[in-house]
Structure 1
Amino acid sequence: MRFKEKISVVKASRVAKQPPRFFYLLHFMVLSNLTVSVAQAAGLPATDELTLESIVVRPQSQVLIGIADSASEGTVTAQQLKARPLLRPAEVMEAVPGMIVTQHSGGGKANQYFLRGYNLDHGSDFSTYVNGMPVNQVTHAHGQGYMDLNFLIPELIGNLRYRKGVYAAEDGDFAVAGSARIDYVKSLDTPFLDFTLGEYGYKRFLGAGSHKFGDVNVLAALELVGNDGPWDQSENLVKRNGVFRVSSGNAYEGYSLTAMAYENNWTATEQVPVRAIENGEISKYGTFAPTDGGKTHRYSLNGEVAKSDEKGRWKANAYLIDYQLNLFSTPSGLLDGQHEQADKRLTWGGQVAREQDINLVGKNSTLDVGVQLRHDRMSELGLYQTTNRVRDTTTRKDEVDQTGIGIFSNLNTQWNDWLRTNVGLRWDGIKSEIKNKGGEFNINNGGTGRDHQVSPKLGVVFGPFDKTEFYANWGHGFHSNDGRGSTATTNAVDGSSLERIPLIAKAVGSELGVRTQLLPNWHSSLTFWQIALDSELVYIGDEGVTEPKGGSKRRGIEWSNYYSHDGLILDADVAISHARFNVPSNGGDKIPNAIPVTASLAVTHDTGGQWFGGVRTRYIGAYPLEETGALKSKAFWATNLKLGYRYDKHIQLSLDVLNIFNSTANDIEYFGASCTNAEGAGCGGGEGIEGRLIHPLEPRSVRLGLRLSL
């Protein structure tokens, strides 16, 4: 959620430079080499016969030494997530070192994400894929990159692979702070039924199982969730979620076809002014808007296939997603009243890639080349003023067709026992066609926006030296801006003039890092990173306009640790970041809601015996609420606990205690203008009264679970 701020529009400096010529020359040589290999495979004449040895230089294992392309990437296993206590499905993302997940509204809305000094809002600078399908939504009614992960079923996650920074050629739009790829399992050891009951009306049912028919695995799962929450007005959340998957083979030779269906309805308690709580107008868990909330659905079908040969493998996927959101919010109390953001779209696309073993100047190498395509057909993209969820007037309504194409290549070369390199090159093109369908001041905001970018990448790895490797990475990346901003010349709210905004905001990043195995079973990584972003342009869904925020620079340090032995898994990390605007505004250069310090410690233990469990605590440091940094949030710790007992092989009991020490901190804090019931809708001369707005942590709650294995 974004709030109205009195800011000066600053022109961002162009930090992205043209890539060096050697990137183009090198990739031309490599692609030519690949063409020779393909010609030989087809029986066509070639001047030289290639004799290759297979080499793996990519992160396809849990071992940290010898397979990663950067110090800040990794894989989270199902075993790590199995005994981790979760308040919300999207909290699986907190397994990414340094990632923080919060919420400022109801349980059906996308979470807030924070990483590397970025307030990612609902996902604007971190890209996520589930079973090969993109989750981030382009040109979204509420916010660019909207990443709703409420459809995740944590028990089905097989692994979560993450990368930070802009260094992977496979990653395109939104992969500025990083990216994650979540894959579901293809089969389960045994079918099960889960029943969970908790305080505040929480109830959950999950039934899942799989069966093998010859070489074909069939998996099915059904999840039903209800929750009222601790709020004064019941959340009335009702979630329905299903998965059906057919698969065979493995990641190198096989296929999968997955159908998913997710629906959610809820009533939201938004952030509220602190002064209304302090003067007793409402309680800490109160609200001024009894009809905020919404409904959403996500129906999808995707297929993945992999085929290997003597030189490498092909992999391809295709997806179709039917998505809709109707979100009702009163973000500033009575200041602007309630509005509805409506998003109805059909998204389709896919990827075809080839992983090829080649010989480069006598050295064993692996080359990836691929093409990605995504098209979003948005039949309704609207902003409406409403009363109790009934539309009164149309601020803006559009139909949008947006297409993105990405072409990438990535070359990994092992030069000798202690040196390997990773060279990538990516091209992206975006086209957005806007058709105005409603709104008094929206009639001239249609048209076509286009933009493209070339993104070179480079990584160098030295080692291993006594189970230690050193990394250096550099690259270009980007996030797209809302397509409506690329054609709009008029503010849809008041008719004032606007400048058109580029479709792409460029980023340049670099990092130095080290991975080491300090002791048997203990792996540690230390990373120093920095990133510059052309412009933090964002689409303000609450106002129907794109707002220039100016260029920014961030830098930081991350220390991550992983220990595993005899059923014990320990994850510990600390992240420190420094985030600043290039040009000060509103009296300062601090970036609001950029968290400077985070830390977490997760310990799980499961030897397969009767008892198992886990505990996780996280720390969020105080962050600036406005550009001067004079106003800050309050730092806090929060801890969750899970304890389980296997009565026998068919019956398992569990106890989750969330926010075990009953921290009274706030899940999120903002600074902005608002009006309360006592102040009236016209408070502050119609401009509202500025102050802190908060959404509190949910108080301590207990959930009891029963699993019946069939």
Structure 2
Amino acid sequence: MKYLFALVLFVLSITSNAQSLNGVVNSNGKPLSEVLIRDFTSKSHAHTDAKGKFVLENVQLNDSLEISKQGFITQKIKITSLDFLSISINEKPFLLEEVTISNNLRYLNTISKIDLEIQPISNSQDLLRKVPGLFIGQHAGGGKAEQIFLRGFDCDHGTDINISVDGMPVNMVSHAHGQGYADLHFVIPETVDRIDFDKGSYFADKGDFTTAGYVGFNTKNALEHSSLSFEGGQFDTFRTVALFNLLNKENQSAYFAGEYMMTDGYFDAPQNFNRINLFGKYSAKLNNGDRIALFVSHFKSQWDASGQIPDRAVNDGTISHYGAIDSNEGGNTGRTNFNLQYDAKIDENSQIKNTAYLSKYDFELYSNFTFFLNDPVNGDQIKQKENRTIVGFQSEYDEKLNENWRFKLGAGLRNDNNKDVELSHTLNRKSVLEYLSLGNVNQTNLFSFTSFDFTSGKWLINAGLRLDYFKFGYEDQLASTYTNQTQTKAILSPKLNFSYTQNTELQYFLKLGKGFHSNDTRVVVAQKGQEILPETYGADLGLNWKPFPRMIVNSAIWYLYLAQEFVYVGDEAVVEPSGKTERKGFDFGFRYQLTNWLFWNTDYTYTHARSLDEPKGNDYLPLAPVHTLMNGFSVKDLKGFSGSLRTRFLGDRPANEDNSVVAKGYCITDFSVNYQIKKVSVGVNIDNIFNTKWKETQFLTESRLANETDPVEEIHFTAGTPFNARLILKYSW
């Protein structure tokens, strides 16, 4: 009994002496969030909030503390005073040897983390370029969504690639310009925290548009510091970005981001481009372990464009390489988003992730691809316009059943209500000469999915099943009587994936999946519901390998079959079927850290893309990339300097079915350098440092100029940027 009494006294004495310790953690004078402070004596721990502050409970004099954060040198100290404690920790060099290969089917996300760490995003176009093998092309003055190329697909503006931000879809179904139109310009690059991507249709939680692959962007929940930057350069280019911390508590954070950009562009006719972005986000961790995040954003953009110009007009000196046939092209667009994420923790092994969103979107685009082919008097300018509302949600239940099994079950809905989807023949962006197509689209996608992960030793097997149900509705406003055409369709998409992780340096994987090619509502009603969700079948076989501590290699051979590729051509209001197709190829990625501050990365792809319904020699898929290469060297934190020299190469590719016309490739090198001194950084970005004259996008088009009597079919192109230098000043606090 006396021993028990002594033990109680001892515990009471410890409890009476234990106190709370307040402090702050910073690096180079900047507060650091999410720093872990651990007390080895009492086993208590705490994390710093967005202002770097923490409160550590049950602390006594002479306790040993460990202060750690990824990317920083871990520090150990002994408590000599219970007064307010200020701790400073230093960044450590990013080391590839600390990156290990884990038993994870989405290991490519590790590659994106490395690239973001080594090469921070400098503009909105760089967001998509972080996906190895993905190429983009801008051909409408900077305001239009980029054309996307991936795995032998000319994805147009997003037809065959699923893009999302914080779980909210970016792709627009049945868009006035084209199916899957994905305008990512509403995202402020500085707010992006992570990029989730994979190629192919191998995961049950990814559905519509996931043919060539998917890209999911995740925005930051909190800012480490506020900042204000100014960027100015050639062609009357100006950009400013402001990031402000609004709320900085241990379990809550809020910030605001704003961006304004304007430029006249490098074309002979000024582009008069301007864009404004506003973004606010609130995040909180609740007492029961649940997490909530809400963002609100608003985006508005307008521009003029020089469009696509014919080779012959440049070759005969009628216009320059940067000239225009119709300088009245251009447009305006806007998007307002509300996005809510709520993750509910059920217990230690299960949770439910929920996302709900609402978007209001408007779009108006003026183009002229054929000049005077159809209307020799007024010209062939067209207007594409729409006004849409998107609502949707997705819920996913995730439970770890035991050491070997993991189970997921999800469901969701997306509805697009698209009013006055218009294609019209116009004059000078003022007068409508003729309505070619005008109607209302209402499209709903209901879906559910489930998957099981089975882990045994070095093996991971993932099996999934997805069900998509679509209801397509189209009201033709040009019909003499009311007509509301509807069709419904459902499709099952099974998935089966394997990985064998031999050790932390080597992993093999095999991915198998069925998906579907996404189709426009106007295709569906034109086809009367027949073959409207054609199946896709794909397979990837590859490896992730660390042959040396500071080198990572990832490679895969792959195959993709499509039963049909119906395309609704928004520029002409017609449906174009292309029949069965197959694509197969090889991907290779390489990351190597030569020193603590010098990195080398390379991504190469080869693709063989053919139509299966056409005879050999006439079976090429127009504009499908064959060879792509991205190669770069980056410097990170060398005595305050960071920068990169990056080259991208897109090889020659067929422009028509018999490869008699070739879209010429290009090789462009960009350069950036930045110097950081305390709270101020100064940088220079240079696009096309060697001032190469190149064609960013190309199309084989039949057109007629004002002085021509007969039409001519040849390459039409949009010029790529020449040497373009910009100075960037940034202040952080």
Normalised by the shorter chain, which TM-score bucket? 0.7 to 0.9
2:577 is equivalent to residue 579 of structure 1: no
1:567-616 CA deviation, whole Å, 9 max, x = no partner?
44433111000000111179600000001000111332222742111121
Amino acid at match of 2:488: R
Could you say if the C-alpha distance between residues 165 and 346 of structure 1 is closer, same or farther in structure 2, counting changes exceeding 3 Å? same
2:222 is equivalent to residue 199 of structure 1: no
Amino acid at match of 2:390: T
2:476 is equivalent to residue 436 of structure 1: yes
Q: Is the 8 A contact 1:70 1:472 kept in 2?
A: no
Aligned-pair distance for 1:71? 6.6
Match of 2:350?
Answer: 312
Could you say if the C-alpha distance between residues 213 and 618 of structure 1 is closer, same or farther in structure 2, counting changes exceeding 3 Å? closer
Aligned partners of 1:592 and 1:151: how far apart in 2?
30
Aligned-pair distance for 1:104? 1.8
Q: Is the 8 A contact 1:74 1:162 kept in 2?
A: no
Aligned partners of 2:358 and 2:243: how far apart in 1?
24
2:688 is equivalent to residue 691 of structure 1: no
1:75-128 CA deviation, whole Å, 9 max, x = no partner?
523872674575x51332111111101112221101011011111110100001
Match of 1:405?
Answer: 446
Deviates more, 1:203-212 or 1:135-144: 203-212
- Equivalent of 2:637 in 607, 632, 645: 607
Match of 1:447?
Answer: 485
Amino acid at match of 2:437: R
- Equivalent of 1:485 in 517, 523, 526: 523
Q: Is the 8 A contact 1:101 1:114 kept in 2?
A: yes
Amino acid at match of 1:396: S
Match of 2:150?
Answer: 115
Aligned partners of 1:64 and 1:614: how far apart in 2?
25
Amino acid at match of 1:551: K
Could you say if the C-alpha distance between residues 700 and 450 of structure 1 is closer, same or farther in structure 2, counting changes exceeding 3 Å? same
1:298-337 equivalences under 5 Å are 298-308=335-345, 309-336=347-374, 337=380
Deviates more, 1:607-616 or 1:68-77: 68-77
2:253 is equivalent to residue 183 of structure 1: no
2:665 is equivalent to residue 635 of structure 1: yes
Could you say if the C-alpha distance between residues 83 and 69 of structure 1 is closer, same or farther in structure 2, counting changes exceeding 3 Å? closer
Aligned-pair distance for 1:201? 1.1
Could you say if the C-alpha distance between residues 154 and 631 of structure 1 is closer, same or farther in structure 2, counting changes exceeding 3 Å? same
Percent sequence identity over aligned pairs = 29
1:67-86 equivalences under 5 Å are 67-69=103-105, 74=110, 76-77=112-113, 80=116, 83-84=119-120, 86=122
Bigger relative contact order (CA 8 A; separation at least 6): 1
Aligned partners of 1:252 and 1:598: how far apart in 2?
45
1:244-298 CA deviation, whole Å, 9 max, x = no partner?
0000239984110000100000001111110010111111111111211000001
Specify the SS of the correspondent of 1:536.
coil
Could you say if the C-alpha distance between residues 450 and 569 of structure 1 is closer, same or farther in structure 2, counting changes exceeding 3 Å? farther
1:654-699 CA deviation, whole Å, 9 max, x = no partner?
10110011111211221120112322xxx42xxx211111112110
Specify the SS of the correspondent of 2:187.
coil
- Equivalent of 1:242 in 278, 297, 303: 278
Aligned partners of 2:108 and 2:436: how far apart in 1?
43
Match of 1:560?
Answer: 589
Aligned partners of 1:437 and 1:283: how far apart in 2?
42
Aligned partners of 1:222 and 1:169: how far apart in 2?
35
Match of 1:92?
Answer: 127
Aligned partners of 1:107 and 1:446: how far apart in 2?
36
Match of 2:425?
Answer: 385
Specify the SS of the correspondent of 2:517.
strand
2:267 is equivalent to residue 231 of structure 1: yes
Aligned partners of 2:149 and 2:340: how far apart in 1?
31
Aligned partners of 2:327 and 2:358: how far apart in 1?
35
Aligned-pair distance for 1:636? 2.0
Q: Is the 8 A contact 2:100 2:505 kept in 1?
A: no
Could you say if the C-alpha distance between residues 62 and 455 of structure 1 is closer, same or farther in structure 2, counting changes exceeding 3 Å? farther
Match of 2:496?
Answer: 458
2:191 is equivalent to residue 156 of structure 1: yes
- Equivalent of 1:277 in 314, 329, 339: 314
Aligned partners of 1:610 and 1:154: how far apart in 2?
22
Aligned partners of 2:339 and 2:212: how far apart in 1?
26
2:684 is equivalent to residue 655 of structure 1: yes
Aligned partners of 1:252 and 1:560: how far apart in 2?
38
Aligned partners of 2:465 and 2:239: how far apart in 1?
46
Could you say if the C-alpha distance between residues 85 and 166 of structure 1 is closer, same or farther in structure 2, counting changes exceeding 3 Å? closer
Amino acid at match of 2:556: T
2:399 is equivalent to residue 356 of structure 1: yes
1:4-37 CA deviation, whole Å, 9 max, x = no partner?
xxxxxxxxxxxxxxxxxxxxxxxxxxxxxxxxxx
- Equivalent of 2:203 in 139, 158, 168: 168
- Equivalent of 1:394 in 418, 435, 439: 435
Could you say if the C-alpha distance between residues 75 and 355 of structure 1 is closer, same or farther in structure 2, counting changes exceeding 3 Å? farther
1:247-266 equivalences under 5 Å are 247-249=283-285, 253-266=290-303
Match of 2:462?
Answer: 422
Match of 2:646?
Answer: 616
TM-score (norm 2): 0.82
Aligned partners of 1:365 and 1:331: how far apart in 2?
55
Could you say if the C-alpha distance between residues 71 and 217 of structure 1 is closer, same or farther in structure 2, counting changes exceeding 3 Å? closer
Q: Is the 8 A contact 2:644 2:671 kept in 1?
A: yes
Aligned-pair distance for 1:451? 1.2
Q: Is the 8 A contact 1:71 1:513 kept in 2?
A: no
Deviates more, 1:245-254 or 1:378-387: 245-254
Gaps (5+ residues) in structure 2? 1-96, 375-379
Could you say if the C-alpha distance between residues 128 and 160 of structure 1 is closer, same or farther in structure 2, counting changes exceeding 3 Å? same
TM-score (norm 1): 0.85
1:539-550 equivalences under 5 Å are 539-550=568-579
Match of 2:695?
Answer: 666
Aligned-pair distance for 1:228? 0.5
Could you say if the C-alpha distance between residues 72 and 164 of structure 1 is closer, same or farther in structure 2, counting changes exceeding 3 Å? farther
Q: Is the 8 A contact 1:450 1:503 kept in 2?
A: no
2:205 is equivalent to residue 140 of structure 1: no
1:466-497 CA deviation, whole Å, 9 max, x = no partner?
72111111110113211012223xxxxxxxxx
Specify the SS of the correspondent of 1:484.
helix
Aligned length: 627
Aligned-pair distance for 1:357? 0.9
Aligned-pair distance for 1:179? 0.2
Amino acid at match of 2:305: A
Specify the SS of the correspondent of 2:578.
coil
Aligned partners of 2:514 and 2:115: how far apart in 1?
34
Aligned partners of 2:117 and 2:484: how far apart in 1?
46
Amino acid at match of 2:261: V
Amino acid at match of 1:394: Y
Amino acid at match of 2:291: G
Q: Is the 8 A contact 2:101 2:504 kept in 1?
A: no
Amino acid at match of 1:216: Q
Could you say if the C-alpha distance between residues 70 and 192 of structure 1 is closer, same or farther in structure 2, counting changes exceeding 3 Å? closer
> Larger Rg: 1 or 2?
2
Q: Is the 8 A contact 1:394 1:439 kept in 2?
A: no
2:413 is equivalent to residue 373 of structure 1: yes
Amino acid at match of 2:693: T
